[in-house]
Amino acid sequence: MIFVTGGAGFIGSNFVLDWLAQSDEPVLNLDKLTYAGNLDNLSSIKDDPRHIFVQGDIGDFELVRRLLAEHQPRAVLNFAAESHVDRSIHGPEDFIQTNVVGTFHLLEAVRAYWVGLEGDAKSDFRLLHVSTDEVYGSLEKTDPPFNENNRYEPNSPYSASKAASDHLVRAYHHTYGLPVLTTNCSNNYGPYHFPEKLIPLVIHNALQGKPLPIYGDGQQIRDWLYVKDHCTAIRRVLAAGQLGETYNVGGWNEKPNIEVVNTICTILDELKPRADGVSFNAQITYVKDRPGHDRRYAIDATRLEKELDWKPAETFESGIRKTVQWYLDNPAWVENITSGQYRQWVEKQYQ
Ligand code: NAD
Ligand code: DAU
């Protein structure tokens, strides 16, 4: 059994679905079901006995301790976090609470569990912490991409809280010998992405005839990775990563935001043209920039490729087309999220 946290969110749910599609090893899934947690993402495994879902907080030491004792997982994978940079600017407190304090309590519960293991169960145990490239700060146009030796220079409350959690994970290895692995991935996109983030927001707004908001000059660069490629990288690091090490994950797909939005518009023009024949890019609207907006992220994934023999399956062109198609094929999922309907279901189910 593996123990996943945050498995009802975007990347966590993709990971759980992928895991169960490839393996019979059960998954215990602990998720607080914040606004970003959506059980609709997991509806295809609703009745699968290999998936055990528990609503709860990674910061609840007693709950995590009990779940570990009861299920005896061989690994814990920590996806749970507050993840949206704009929300961290408006209200940083939840980010500190979950990403820093929550990770600390999770580490304490995992350490207590691991100390009590014996033999192979102890030596085989792993805690894999899922982190982000944003901890490295912002690159100039001509800088080389981030590698694992770059200094941490986080610029937003979100990235600072993730950096703090990475440092705690590192310290628990260094001080207590806890067998940890950390991954720092670039921007993900794909199915089940909450439509507050750039790519799903643009697809949704385009289809609704709404403005496509571009912050500042739209020349900020992100390095995009299809979410299923992130999932294969995490599986690879879990299987073969060196304890205490960090692995950068990315697919060498740097794109300015305006180019990403134009690409989405072109694909939509082809797959679902506007009734008036005008391109969706007519809806592009430049808006006020994000405060402290990082200019460029880029990941050097050489270590993961060379040491662990990992390669992404998708190019940006193939992944973005699949993504747009997925949103076109799943209007009910989008409608449920944007109407808030999914929350009512959660409230009814877990009251
Ligand atoms: P998300 O916001 O879509 O999902 C987060 C999930 O965590 C939600 O299901 C939420 O309910 C749950 N959660 C939040 N607080 C919790 C708590 N206290 N206890 C238990 N569950 C809690 O995020 P995501 O985009 O899927 O990101 C997952 C992880 O990957 C995060 O750690 C994020 O920092 C990291 N990451 C994300 C990206 C990206 O592009 N989205 C890239 C690199 C790394
Ligand atoms: O780099 C990894 C990170 O990628 C993850 O750690 C975060 O959890 C994830 O949210 C993401 O952060 P970003 O801030 O890069 O993603 P977002 O989709 O919010 O924005 C992508 C870029 O698009 C960024 O430069 C801001 C810009 N943007 C975003 C929105 C929502 C716009 O121009 N307009 C928008 O409406």
Residue 341 binned pLDDT confidence (cut-offs 50, 70, 90): confident
Residue 349 has what pLDDT?
A: 52
Nearest Cα neighbor of 98 from 167, 185, 183, 6 is 6
Which pLDDT score, from 0 to 100, does residue 15 have?
99
From CA 155, how far away is CA 169, in angstroms rounded? 20
pLDDT tens digits for 12-23? Answer: 999 999 999 999
Nearest to 248 by CA among 172, 103, 146: 146
To the nearest 10 degrees (0 to 180), the angle between helices 103-115 and 61-71 is 40
HSE toward the beta carbon, residue 280, CA cutoff 13 A: 26
Model confidence, pTM: 0.97
Mean pLDDT along residues 50-66: 98
* Distances from the Cα of 183 to the Cα of 44, 236, 293, angstroms: 27, 11, 23
Helix (H) or strand (E) holding 44: none
Q: Give mean pLDDT, residues 187-216.
A: 97
Q: Which pLDDT score, from 0 to 100, does residue 54 have? A: 98
1 vs 233: CA distance, rounded Å: 19
Residue 141, helix vs strand vs coil: coil
Distance between CA atoms of 32 and 57, rounded to whole angstroms?
A: 5
Answer whether 247 contacts ligand 2 (Cβ < 6 A): no
Residue type at position 307? E
Q: How many CB atoms lie within 10 A of CB 278?
A: 11
Mutation probe of ligand 1 site: the residue of 3, 5, 11, 100 with most atoms within 8 A of C-beta: 11
Ligand nearest to the CA of 205: 2
The mean pLDDT value for 240-252 works out to 98
- Which pLDDT does position 127 carry in this prediction? 99
> What's the whole-number average pLDDT of the chain?
96
| Ligand 2 centroid to residue 228 C-alpha, Å | 18
348 has pLDDT over 70 = no
pLDDT over 70 for what percent of the chain? 97
Region 286-296 average pLDDT: 97
Mean pLDDT within 28-35:
97
pLDDT digits (tens, 9 = 90+) for 127-175: 999 999 999 999 999 999 999 999 999 999 999 999 999 999 999 999 9
Instruction: Kindly write down the DSSP assignment for every residue of 153-195, as one continuous string.
Output: ---SHHHHHHHHHHHHHHHHHHHH---EEEEEE-EEESTT--T
Q: Residue 343 pLDDT more than 80? A: no
Pairing status of strand 254-256 against strand 221-226: antiparallel
Averaged pLDDT for residues 97-101: 98
Phi–psi pair at 295, nearest 5 degrees: -80, -45
Domain boundaries, the chain: 2-188+226-250+293-313
**198 within ligand 2 shell (Cβ under 6 A):** yes
Please check the confidence at residue 350 and state whether its pLDDT lies above 80.
no
Catalytic residue among 158, 192, 226, 247: 158
What is the Rg, in whole angstroms, of the alpha carbon atoms belonging to the chain? 20
Ligand nearest to the CA of 211: 2
Quick one: which atom of ligand 1 is closest to the CA of 102?
18
Taking CA atoms only, the protein residue closest to ligand 2 atom 23 is 198
Determine the pLDDT at residue 230. Answer: 99
340 confidence band (pLDDT: 50, 70, 90): confident
What is the CATH architecture of 2-188+226-250+293-313?
A: 3-Layer(aba) Sandwich (3.40)
The residue to which tokens 């609840």 are assigned: 60
Please report which confidence band the pLDDT of residue 339 belongs to, taking 50, 70 and 90 as the band edges. confident
d(CA 142, CA 40): 42
